[in-house]
Structure 1
Amino acid sequence: MPELTAAIVGLGTTGTSLGLALKQARTEFHVLGHDRDRGRLAVASKLGAVDKTHWNLHRTVEPADLTVLAVPGSELPDLLPLLDETWKPRSLVVILTSAMQPVLALAEEHLPEQVAWVLANPVLTGINAPVREREDLFKDVLFCLVPGRDTAPETMQVAHNLIEHLGAKPHYVDALEHDGLVAGVEHTAHLLAAAYMHAAASGAGWSDARKLAGRAFHQATDSTLSPQHLQATLLANREYVSTWLTIMQHELAEWQQLLTGDGDELLARLEDQDEARVRWLKGASLQDWSEDRAPVVETSAGGVMRQMFLGRLGSRRRLPQDDGTDRAR
């Protein structure tokens, strides 16, 4: 039987780790890789994350049964139209993004009807191990999945199985809900880190203060994203981030007020936040959120990826809005 082809566009930490995970899972994919950075191409090849790299984007995507776009959101408005006539019919496209709503609109506008697609966001905490290129980066990681407006159930099943093969836990979420939650626990954290760094470096005493800045300052100002990537992320989710900035303004005002007291209320607040953080760390470390477990979908071991790609993606489905007439995704 001919093997399936997977294309990974964007060979940073996430894309390269995805290739390594596909290899470790012994899926039937021949993995192609593309990145505009030749250094990343070399690293991915050296690590064995891809079977072959292509400098030409179209040659990478054209034969792919599965394409994963692991690029910054700022690149998608140009990338998707560029690939308009390149996609293999009945293939699956997975777009990795932490801001679902704008990418959802882009995908619905630019992806043709003959391909199936989903949006996804792996939640990488770096708690148990560093976030770097490795085959087990997605082990037990919550992998958010958002379908398109007309995404077939069969497509979601394929995406679910793929994510499980990576060792991750599929988590279905609404795009609007996802962006609101991620604004609070990721995007605003990046912005606050940037704002703290800017405030400190702009201060009159920075030339002396920088010599005393230690581990706490290093961790508090590490946004982990490039300025260009962070700009695109913040603008893509600006409404929710703006709401969270207002919440933080009120929160900081309360902490400022606590500093004027005798210290008892300040200690109580510090103990509350410490307890909440310990609970979160435990849940994130074990990836056990018992009050909100994602549904488990049974999969068979042998040849499941081939069955899902060559079988269900090629099948026809009946949509609720159809009046008895089948049409394919």
Structure 2
Amino acid sequence: MPERAIRPRSRTSAAMLTAVSLLGAVALAGCTSGPDQTAKNTPAASRAGAPSPSPTPDWNRRPASVAAVGDSITRGFDACSVLADCPEVSWATGTDDGVRSLAVRLLGASKAAASSWNHAVSGARIAQLPEQMALAAKEKPELVTVMIGANDACRDSVAVMTPVADFRASFEASMRQLRATAPKAQVYVSSVPDLKRLWSTGRTNELGKQIWKLGICKSMLGDADSMDAAAVARRDAVQDRVVAYNDVLRDVCAKDRRCRYDGGAVFDYRFTGEQLSQWDWFHPGRDGQARLAEIAYRNVTAGEPPA
């Protein structure tokens, strides 16, 4: 998300790193978005930005209530303070004036708090999504936002990333869970952020790399400076898996007449350090959350689904 990398003030850097270290290795994922310039081997036909296979008929561009499901991005993790959720800055349902969440943009600040619900859980993977969907459905929302999948690719190793078939089964189960209780709720599905761009953006910041060494997203961010064949292959494998997850989100969403996929907008967003949390150089900060809210609002209120 755009331009120069943030360099935390030197006076606070040591204290911040100490606070993070005391609390141990953080593996809660959920990250920012955008295409990586170095992802040259991703086939164009399988890119996350491929158009949705079918339109979304009967789409209400002004839903009157919003429920959110997903992971730490939607909880605003590390956006306000170290190792803490900050749902008030959530791109989906937050109340922060600087972010202007999707709920605030759709409903207005006075109504957003009473007509939006955040059931996302920091650290969640796709296997936990059906349970979140069940909770969201009970609210009888007119719109449900979904942002999930970064934690399925951000693992200790490539070998334990969620298999694509399992990812598909869990997302299909999530949609069935929602439809069992809220058959008319609309669903807005965000693409999984580009983790390889996160690596290429954050690796230029020395403090950020030190924080990554605590154990954040080892599959992509481990040995951040290594460019040997094994490290390159590992990062490419994570990138390919993210693209595959986005293909699943697009395809499953296209089968539901009230579901709209973002067309790869989050994956394709060209973020920089300004949008990253200064606490971990991994999650979106306030500026990143605001950019996600802009993307969502533009796609939810568009006359046609993203292409």
Q: TM-score range by the shorter chain?
A: 0.3 to 0.5
TM-score between both structures, scaled by the size of structure 2: 0.34
The structure richer in strand per residue is 1
TM-score normalised according to structure 1 size: 0.32
Structure showing the higher helix proportion among its residues = 1
Q: Which has the larger radius of gyration?
A: 1
